């Protein structure tokens, strides 16, 4: 299966998307924050990122979902800063602290090509929402130099549908989080009370573009949607509602990673209800909620045999 962006490049749609993203950057509306700053002139809004993307690290990653890792790893590129402000962020030094350095598009393209050369099964853009423009710039260069492996858009779920449409026919695999169902929890813990609404709309658009997750004969993902959901203490994530939404309004074939690794990070210690790990029972109930909704393609510790 040919990567989507190769056809988009041949047909001129990749450069067209880059041109539109460049215009948006002049009064930035790439994400729901709608800051309106001129990032092409290196002005910075909520995401604290100017024209160039800041890269914290990159390399083969073996801790991602099974269909992404295979034998050679997922080729992750971790972008610094974020359009969310999760008080419990497990990558606080990257998303809040801005670890890393700004890179030219040629440098990002070179990283993509090196990951491919090392045998990685995909290019996994981690926290890409605020750097769509930089990704498209680098992608044009990388395609011309021989990039062919699938692209993963690995995001927090706080997206603008209009911006996602820029990526239609370019991104192969969408891997969003669905963090919170509740407006109150999203407002208090992420400074984004509109997150649930944005996540629901964004997931529908992602699925419209790429459909259910498709694996090759080796079990490696080639195209489709993969959703992550982090179980939170006291049911704060709204797991039952999220799973019902995925099954009823996306697809019962949605590939879901119900994650059990929450632990207090960042400023979580200041919030009593999330200042602890989840219990075994909380996780068991969460997996059962996914199964009860009819979702059978589960990854990780909540996986279903043969799913």
Q: Could you report the per-residue pLDDT of 182-240, keeping only the tens digit for each?
A: 999 999 999 999 999 999 999 999 999 999 999 999 999 999 999 999 999 999 999 99
Q: Could you report the per-residue pLDDT of 118-172, keeping only the tens digit for each?
A: 999 999 999 999 999 999 999 999 999 999 999 999 999 999 999 999 999 999 9
Q: What domains does the chain contain, in order, with CATH numbers?
A: 4-41+63-302 (3.20.20.70)
SS3 label, residue 81: coil
pTM of the model: 0.96
Q: What is the C-alpha separation between 184 and 180, in angstroms, rounded?
A: 9
């Amino acid at each position: 299966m040919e990567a989507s962006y190769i056809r988009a490049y041949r047909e001129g749609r990749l450069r067209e998307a880059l041109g539109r993203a460049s215009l948006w950057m002049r009064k930035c509306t790439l994400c729901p924050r709608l800051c309106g700053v001129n990032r092409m002139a290196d002005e910075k809004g909520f995401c604290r990122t100017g024209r160039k993307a800041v890269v914290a690290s990159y390399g083969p990653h073996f801790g991602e979902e099974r269909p992404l890792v295979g034998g050679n790893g997922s080729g992750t590129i971790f972008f610094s800063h974020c359009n969310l402000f999760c008080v419990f962020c497990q990558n606080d030094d990257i998303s809040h602290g801005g670890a890393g350095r700004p890179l030219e598009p040629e440098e990002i393209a070179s990283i993509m090509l090196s990951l491919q050369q090392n045998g990685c099964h995909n290019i996994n853009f981690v926290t890409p929402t605020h750097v769509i423009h930089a990704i498209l710039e680098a992608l044009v260069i990388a395609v011309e130099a021989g990039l062919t492996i699938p692209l993963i858009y690995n995001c927090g779920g706080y997206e603008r549908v209009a911006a996602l449409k820029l990526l239609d026919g370019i991104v192969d695999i969408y891997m969003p989080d669905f963090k919170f169902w509740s407006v109150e929890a999203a407002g208090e813990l992420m400074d984004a009370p509109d997150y649930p609404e944005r996540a629901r709309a964004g997931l529908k658009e992602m699925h419209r573009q790429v459909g259910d997750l498709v694996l090759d004969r080796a079990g490696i993902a080639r195209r489709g949607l993969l959703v992550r959901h982090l179980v939170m203490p006291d049911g704060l994530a709204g797991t039952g509602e999220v799973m019902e939404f995925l099954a009823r309004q996306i697809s019962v074939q949605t590939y879901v990673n119900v994650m059990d690794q929450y632990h207090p990070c960042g400023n979580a210690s200041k919030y009593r209800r999330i200042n602890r790990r989840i219990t075994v029972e909380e996780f068991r109930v969460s997996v059962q909620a996914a199964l009860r909704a009819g979702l059978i393609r589960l990854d990780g510790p909540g996986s279903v045999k043969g799913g």
